[in-house]
Amino acid sequence: MTLFIKIEGGVAVGGPVAEQNFRQLFKNTSFPKYFTANDVEPLGYGIYDYSSQPDLERYQKATECSPVRTSAGIWKQSWSTVEMNDAERVKVDAQNAALVRAQRNFRLSETDWIVSRCYESGDSVPYDVKKHRQALRDITNNVNFPYLNDVDWPIEP
């Protein structure tokens, strides 16, 4: 499906228009099966194409900009990268901390049965299980906390 965008004064305006809607706008016009820029530009439109957001650093965000016309005549979605403000950084850190804690809690729950069984039978919890569980609890003290990709998770016993 082809997408289109309205062009005014050489600048793309508004959002993309689906091919079906574009054909409805010009229902008395016969179009070829495959559109080219030459088919739609006389009507004040351009062919539009989405693009992927850029790769971002930890405290960056992508903001959509006006589409840019390529050498092939296609209007391509474009992005700018901006630094987050302090409030946004705090929010991102809190969200990542919640994700890491949830992962940590899940990993702790995987060994809960061992601890329960030991308490029920009167046995002591194996040292390697204790060590592993304490390492999981200490994960929030890790220098990379709260970034899950950077966390060095302890190896399961």
pLDDT, tens only, 37-64: 999 999 999 999 999 999 999 999 999 9
> Hey, what amino acid is at 33?
K
Average pLDDT for residues 10-18, to the nearest whole number? 95
pLDDT at 1: 86
pLDDT at 134: 96
Average pLDDT for residues 102-126, to the nearest whole number? 94
Q: How are strands ordered across the β-sheet holding 11-18?
A: 11-18, 3-8, 45-49, 74-83, 60-69
Domain ranges of the chain: 3-83, 86-150
Whether 71 shows a pLDDT value over 70: the answer reads yes
pLDDT > 90 in the chain, percent: 87
Q: Rounded CA gap, 134 and 146, in Å?
A: 17
C-alpha dist (Å) from residue 54 to 1, 62, 79 = 24, 7, 7
pLDDT at 105: 96
Whether 23 shows a pLDDT value over 90: the answer reads yes
Q: Rounded CA gap, 146 and 58, in Å?
A: 11
pTM for this predicted structure: 0.67
